[in-house]
Structure 1
Amino acid sequence: MFHSTTGLIHLSAAFIAMISGAFVLLNKKGGIFHKRVGYTYVISMYTLNITAFFIYYLFGKFGPFHALSVMSLICLSGGIIPAIFKKHVKNWLDWHYYFMNWSVVGLYAAFWAETLTRTLPVRQFWPLVFAAATVTAMIGSYLIRRNAKRLITERSLSNTDQNK
């Protein structure tokens, strides 16, 4: 399953990120629980992505999955930095919401691609990776858009209440 200590750390960080990411998505936003579990997600994702740069088992050099790790780091940073500096970032919640959600979608797309290529007897590596990523991204895109409408409505209502 893993070929080194780095691989074990990578795998462990992936499991922690998947669990904490799911908890953040499925529970109430804001508040101390969201922040604590969210920081667990962020730390595990940074660990996951950084260790990815030390894994060259598949291609023997920098490959497409390393490029996806760069994209993941961009999403992760694009989500956490506005939340940390929210007093200085206009529409910080929008940035946080979209980037963090796409970070989670990318994580699950990688999970499904990894799972399918390791468990199915089909010898079509790239079509399985593409199919897993595409289906996950389509479902993620739908859920992100659907829940964004609710988030925007809740924020508008709370802003209206504060202005009274």
Structure 2
Amino acid sequence: MLAALTAISTGTYILFTTKGTSAHRLAGRFYAVSMGLLLCTAFQMYYLSGCFGIVHWGAVGSGIDLLVGLGALGLKALSRSWLTWHYLGMGASITGLYAAFFVESTYRFFPEIYYWWVTLGLAALVFLVGSFLLYHHYPGWIRAIRYTSG
């Protein structure tokens, strides 16, 4: 629970603050570690259910997104497009975290017959909104950093 709250709070903080600062980097480290712990707990749930379900596939996708976002930082010296990959990977990671949060917070309120409609419908809505926001905030944000970084 602490890992989830840390990931949500640091991820949200990063979204609304200036990028590239020491505070951004510190919050990013907390986000990456807490997401790593959160993903480990998602995979440990396999032992509770005995099968690889939708939660596990969501964790696989989220892990890939996180690796893309963090891997871009490691390849900064080799790739001119590292910032684009970092932005997209981390943006997809936090979007997936929000989707998981909303699904986990709401699906118990509905009868079992609506489970798939609630989980997939709500997750799809979060991903659509997240994709829209990532797309519409991308150009100005990346251009501003590229032109000031010399």
C-alpha distance in 2 between matches for 1:158 and 1:90: 14
Give the Cα–Cα distance (whole angstroms) in 2 for the partners of residues 109 and 122 of structure 1.
Answer: 20
State the partner residue of 2:9: 19
Aligned to 2:64: 74
Distance 1:87 1:57 in 2: 41
Deviates more, 1:143-152 or 1:51-60: 51-60
User: Counterpart amino acid of 1:51?
Assistant: T
Partner of 2:21: 31
Q: TM-score, normalised by structure 2?
A: 0.91
Query: Per-residue deviation at 1:13?
Result: 1.0
* Percent of aligned pairs with the same amino acid: 34
Quote how far apart the aligned CAs of 1:57 are.
7.2
1:113 to 103, 113, 132: 103
Runs of 5+ consecutive residues of structure 2 not aligned to the other structure: none
| Residue 55 of structure 1: aligned partner | 45
User: Which residue matches 2:83?
Assistant: 93
Give the C-alpha shift of residue 78 in structure 1: 0.4
Distance in 1, matches of 2:71 and 2:110, equals 42
TM-score of the two chains, using structure 1 as the length reference: 0.84
**RMSD of Structure 2 on Structure 1 (CA):** 1.6
**Count of aligned pairs between the two proteins:** 149
Counterpart residue identity of residue 71, structure 2 = I
Gaps of 5+ in 1: 1-10
Q: 1:105/1:67 Cα in 2 relative to 1: closer, same or farther (>3 Å)? A: same
Aligned-residue offset at 1:14: 1.0
Distance (Å, rounded) in 2 between the aligned partners of 1:69 and 1:35: 24
Decide whether aligned partners of structure 1 residues 128 and 139 sit closer, same or farther in structure 2, where only a CA change above 3 A counts. same
